[in-house]
Amino acid sequence: MRSTVVVLLFALALAGCTIEVVPPGGTPDAGSAPRTVDARVDTAAVDAREVDEQTAVSVVDEYWRREFARQGEVYDPPRVAGGYRGSSGPSCAGQPSVPGNAYYCPPSDFIAWDDSLMAAGYDQIGDAWVYLVIAHEWGHAIQARLASSQVSRAIELQADCLAGAAITGAANEGLVQIEEGDDVEISRALSAVADDFPWTDTSSHGNAAERTANFNRGSRGGVEACL
Ligand SMILES: [Zn+2]
């Protein structure tokens, strides 16, 4: 994805301004993602990923700022604690960070992610990965701002739905460009690394088909479709 207006919205034009994620059965190499993260540090790759992380944060934040304004609501964004390594991340309610995870901490209202989770997805899948992870965690922050009656019991799948609404909504508003292949990257992100990281654990987040269906619901129907 890119944040500047440079290329035609090829995927959007084809899909009617919706990111359509193909079913996980149609993706290559599902489940075959490497389980180890290369320990070598590629400085340029790290820089590129960190730029994408910062862009994803600003794009998703701006989308929700506008959405709350449309609803006549005051928007107070969550804090972004950003990347951490292993168990050295910010604790949440006294609990240490979990290696390989990304999370939203409700009592302290912040979002954090393990650099290794971002790096693995970025390297194996592509830049759409960081947008998905950040938009999903932001979705949990949005849930914390909703009336309890609007928060689904399937809290992880609703966060995927809100991520779809935010990414596609941001693209429709010109905040981010969807590049050809981003839809495939997001589909692979929702399925290919399942169970390799706590963040993609099917027991807590739903299986790949459920995650894909919920992302698509938000992508097609917007925020209302997720509530
Ligand atoms: Zn989640």
From ligand 1's centre to the CA of 158, what distance in Å?
Answer: 9
From ligand 1's centre to the CA of 47, what distance in Å?
Answer: 26
From ligand 1's centre to the CA of 78, what distance in Å?
Answer: 15
Least confident of 14-18, 199-203, 217-221: 14-18
Q: Which two tokens stand for residue 90?
A: 């910010």
pLDDT over threshold 90, residue 45: no
Q: Which two tokens stand for residue 100?
A: 């390989």
From ligand 1's centre to the CA of 70, what distance in Å?
Answer: 25
From ligand 1's centre to the CA of 36, what distance in Å?
Answer: 22
CB 176 within 8 A of CB 59: yes
Cα 82 to Cα 2: distance, rounded to the nearest angstrom: 20
- Domains of the chain, by residue range, sit at 10-29+44-88+96-226
Using one digit for the tens of pLDDT, what is the confidence trace for 84-136?
A: 999 999 999 999 999 989 999 999 999 999 999 999 889 888 889 999 999 99
pLDDT over threshold 50, residue 191: yes
Q: What percent of the chain has pLDDT over 70?
A: 80
Least confident of 46-50, 157-161, 193-197: 193-197
Q: What percent of the chain has pLDDT over 90?
A: 57
pLDDT over threshold 80, residue 38: no
Question: Which residues are in the CB-under-5-Å shell of ion ligand 1?
Answer: 156, 159
Cα 116 to Cα 99: distance, rounded to the nearest angstrom: 8
CB 160 within 8 A of CB 187: no
User: How much is the average pLDDT of 41-46?
Assistant: 75
pLDDT over threshold 90, residue 174: yes
Could you give the angle at which helices 208-221 and 155-172 cross, rounded to 10 degrees? Answer: 40
Q: N- to C-terminal Cα distance for the chain?
A: 27
From ligand 1's centre to the CA of 159, what distance in Å?
Answer: 6
DSSP for 125-140? T-THHHHHHHHHHHHH
User: Model confidence at 10, in pLDDT bands (50, 70, 90)?
Assistant: very low
Dihedral (C-alpha) 69, 58, 99, 203: value to the nearest 10 degrees? Answer: 40
Q: Which two tokens stand for residue 135?
A: 């938009």
What sign does the CA torsion over 98, 83, 121, 15 have?
Answer: positive
Helix residue ranges, H only, the chain: 10-15, 43-70, 115-124, 128-143, 155-172, 182-191, 202-205, 208-221
From ligand 1's centre to the CA of 192, what distance in Å?
Answer: 17
The predicted model scores a pTM of 0.81
From ligand 1's centre to the CA of 102, what distance in Å?
Answer: 8
